[in-house]
Amino acid sequence: MRPHFFPFLTQWMVRRWVKYLGLDEATKLMTWNNGDPGFSLRANTGRNITRADLVERLESLKVPHELSLHLEEFVRIKTGLQTVVQAGLLKEGFCSVQDESAGLIVSVVKPQPGERIMDACAAPGGKTLFMASCLKGQGMIYAMDVNEGRLRILGETAKSHQVDGLISTIHSDLRVFAETNEVQYDKVLLDAPCSGLGVLSKRADLRWNRKLEDMVELTKLQDELLDSASKLVKHDGVLVYSTCSIDTEENEGRVEAFLQRHPEFSIDPVTSFVPSSFVTSQGFFLSNPVKHSLDGAFAEIVIPNEGMPISKEHSKRGDLRINFEIGFPSRLTLEQKTDLKRVLGGSGIGN
């Protein structure tokens, strides 16, 4: 297949997908990426708002919707996001825009009341907020990011979601923090900066701006962050590594390389945490855009081996993320566009 058959993608992406997926699956994926994206809304259970409450509001606004098949807090919408914004549902913290693939990563983390969880690169904070709502008022999410301004926005959004007492922000680079702090956490989520190849239906800019050379730099950064995150996990804790990519090198490749460097860790399959259709033969979580009609995403759990010491060199876990620009409906006022960007975390689509 010649790359110019898909002019909306760079040639290296087309060749890479045909190589790894085969012609038929690559064609389906590229067709999906060129379609109109749908969105999901998450009911804010941190304010005791149920999905039924959200459905009632959507019906009153005449917004077409479908219930998520995978998560009890989520509702899918294909159209009507503009109506939701104009009605103030996001601004008032009634719900969030968040893809179900991101929600399923939170399912892999499985936050429990009383736990101390590090979200190592948290802004814009979609997963942070969801995890905080799972704590039922007990425990703490430590939201770390290098961007102080975006952490401030996360703090403001946490207030509207009424979970600000469960979130503590930390302005730092994970790599620096892990070298200078001895603190450890029950769970660490590292939602790593990545290529975003799982979300091209929402990130049209990446189709042209992402370069093959970026993959080398990103995998190097992902390795560094995984090493640092491992230093923050308790001896009986959990490290979750995730991306919004479907690229093997960024996903399975990074976990395999990490385990080679850190034999004191091992894989814990995600089988108990997500539906079986999302579990790979290796026990990883993978959301396939074509198969699941969701954004592409990946997650894996690694845990310290019982009885093996974790040194300062080989320890713990964390969370990072990539943010996705969205195109705003033209009829929104400037104030409404600003509100939507603030609620979504500056420029992020609910990761």
145 is in an annotated binding site: yes
Q: What mean pLDDT is reported for the chain? A: 86
Query: Residue 108 corresponds to which amino acid?
Result: V
268 is in an annotated binding site: no
Domain residue spans of the chain: 3-33, 101-304
Is residue 137 classed as helix, strand or coil in its secondary structure? coil
Q: Do the Cβ atoms of 285 and 279 come closer than 8 Å? A: yes
Strand spans (E) along 162-309: 167-171, 185-191, 233-243, 265-268, 285-287, 297-304
- The band of 3, judged by pLDDT with boundaries at 50, 70 and 90, is very low
Overall fold of domain 101-304? Rossmann fold (3.40.50)
Q: Give the pLDDT confidence score for residue 9 in this predicted structure.
A: 65
Q: Do the Cβ atoms of 225 and 318 come closer than 8 Å? A: yes
pLDDT tens figures, 7-56: 556 788 888 888 888 889 888 988 888 888 889 999 999 999 999 999 99
The verdict on whether omega for the bond into residue 263 sits within 30 degrees of 0, i.e. cis, is no
What are the φ and ψ backbone dihedral angles of 175, each rounded to 5 degrees?
-65, -35
87-109 mean pLDDT: 96
The pTM (predicted TM-score) of the whole model is 0.85
191 is in an annotated binding site: yes
Q: Give the pLDDT confidence score for residue 200 in this predicted structure.
A: 79
Unique residue bearing structure tokens 């950064």:
221
119 is in an annotated binding site: no
pLDDT tens figures, 111-133: 999 999 999 989 889 999 999 99
123 is in an annotated binding site: yes
Instruction: Pull the structure tokens for residue 232.
Output: 């923050």
pLDDT tens figures, 275-329: 999 999 999 999 999 999 999 999 999 999 975 544 333 333 333 322 323 333 4
Catalogue the active-site residues. 244
Q: Give the pLDDT confidence score for residue 351 in this predicted structure.
A: 63
What share of the chain in percent tops pLDDT 90? 69
- The band of 6, judged by pLDDT with boundaries at 50, 70 and 90, is low
CA nearest 298: which of 228, 351, 221, 233?
351
CB crowding 105-138: b at 16 or more within 10 Å, else e? bbbbbbbeeebbbbbbbbbbbbbbbbbbbbbeee
- The band of 331, judged by pLDDT with boundaries at 50, 70 and 90, is very low
36 is in an annotated binding site: no
What share of the chain in percent tops pLDDT 70? 83
Is residue 294 classed as helix, strand or coil in its secondary structure? coil
The DSSP annotation for 66-132 comes to EE-SS-TTEEEESS-HHHHHHTTTTTTTSEEE--HHHHHHHHHH---TT-EEEETT-TT-HHHHHHH
